[in-house]
Amino acid sequence: DHRDLHSFPTRRSSDLLEKGATIDLNSADTLLLTRVPGIGASFARRIYKYRELLGGYYVVEQLQEVYGMDRERYEQIAPYFRINTAPSPLAISRDSIPRHPYLQWRHTRVLKEILRSGQEPTWKALMESGQFSTDDSLRLAPYLPLK
């Protein structure tokens, strides 16, 4: 039957989360994300994919960084989320500095220089390099648990 090729499961309004319900942004799978009013399958994948790139969200406001998120949609969906699970810290070593949306090439260069010199990277050293702004340090601190 050719109709089966074109029929996609449609979401019933009874499947949506009720107003006042919240879910953990860092543990929700894409199916659970689509239960939030205003999030379809493709947006759920974007939220999930960005979470994977980050290593987890540390504040709900980071949803505003998801590609295609506008203020109206953010304000609609944000009340449904909470953060119960902390993001994963980046494992930084002499041999490896992982890619991260908040780590720019200049940051990576400074980290490599510090590690190559045999020192342990600290926020003091990163800030003194002149390559990390206060904003950078605030955004990266949950992912770089340095002294």
Cα(108)–Cα(140) distance, integer angstroms: 12
For residues 53 and 109, the answer to whether their CB atoms sit within 8 Å is: no
Measured from the Cβ of residue 107, the count of other Cβ atoms closer than 10 Å reads 19
Could you tell me what percent of the chain has a pLDDT over 70?
90
For residues 63 and 57, the answer to whether their CB atoms sit within 8 Å is: yes
Q: Using one digit for the tens of pLDDT, what is the confidence trace for 87-136?
A: 999 999 888 999 999 999 999 999 999 999 999 899 999 999 999 999 99
Residue 147 pLDDT class (50, 70, 90 cuts): confident
SS (H, E, C) the chain: CCHHHHCCCCCCHHHCCCCCCCEECCCCCHHHHCCCCCCCHHHHHHHHHHHHHHCCCCCHHHHHHCCCCCHHHHHHHHHHEECCCCCCCCCCCCCCCCCCCCCCHHHHHHHHHHHHCCCCCCHHHHHHCCCCCHHHHHHHCCCCCCC
In one-letter notation, the amino acid at residue 93 is S
Task: Say what the pTM is.
Answer: 0.85
